[in-house]
Amino acid sequence: MANQPPPRPTVDKARCLISWYSYATNSVLRLYDQRELSEMVSRWLQIEQDGRQQKANSAVLFLVFAIGAQTRPGDQDDEAERYFNYGRFLAMSGDLGISTIQANILITLYLFHDVNVLFDPAEFTRREKLWTVLRILDLFMSASLGRPPSTLETRDTAAKENYSTANDICYIFEKILTDVYSKRKVSTHVLQRISERQPPVGGETAVRSSLR
């Protein structure tokens, strides 16, 4: 259960997880330095979870432990997941503030290793549906308000494998908004490139009916 706290690590284990967290994030994500986290965890281990600030610290530290366990050599995925689930639960149930933003950044970093191809078909389909809906809403709002889209498709939406008409149409709308509407001046090359885009031969048979 996400709302059930995992056992708190010992001081030595907490410092070890913080070290591995630092190895994973120092070049990309300097939210905290190792010394700051070590001081925070020393105080945290001596005080029971009570009060808003202590809960915010707990959320951050459990997420730090999750990233550390995820990075550390050996099979510690179950432990990392327990830390992550409880840290995320605390972050989502607390008051909004700087700590909430920090916790959400840590949640995002932890989830970087989760990509659709690693999930079972049902989870993969749910994620594809969610992405498609977000794309459609974003592009509709962008076209209505006259602003650039907030989402960006990096995959080849015209590829025959797992072809989706909705994703391909969204890609065309994205190109119209970014290459035509936002630039005001349009070259014939851009117009030709957009107008010539068409689904792959036999692509319609590969469309997942649940994603249409």
68-99 per-position pLDDT tens digit: 998 888 778 889 999 999 999 988 886 767 88
Q: What is the pTM of this model?
A: 0.58
Query: Would the pLDDT of 39 be above 60?
Result: yes
More confident residue, 105 or 123: 105
For residues 38 and 15, the answer to whether their CB atoms sit within 8 Å is yes
**Residue 48 pLDDT:** 67
Domain closes at, from 87, 111, 135: 111
Query: Are residues 136 and 59 part of one domain?
Result: no
On whether residue 6 sits in a domain, the answer given is: no
In a domain, 194, yes or no: yes
pLDDT digits (tens, 9 = 90+) for 108-148: 888 876 655 566 778 778 878 888 888 899 989 988 888 88
| Co-location of 142 and 103 in the same domain | no
Residue 120 within a domain: yes
Domain encompassing residue 181: 116-211
Q: In terms of C-beta density within 10 A (0-12 exposed, 13-18 middle, 19 or more buried), how is residue 8 classed? A: middle
Confidence of residue 204 (pLDDT cuts 50, 70, 90): very low
What is the Cα 194 distance to its own chain's centre? 30
Distance CA(121)–CA(98), nearest Å, equals 37
**54 and 143 housed in the same domain:** no
Q: Write down which residue in 82, 111, 140 finishes a domain.
A: 111
* 101 lies in the same domain as 131: no
Asked if 18 and 102 sit in the same domain, the reply is: yes
Confidence of residue 209 (pLDDT cuts 50, 70, 90): very low
Give the count of domains, the chain. 2
Give me the pLDDT at residue 211, please: 42
Q: Flag whether 88 is in a domain.
A: yes
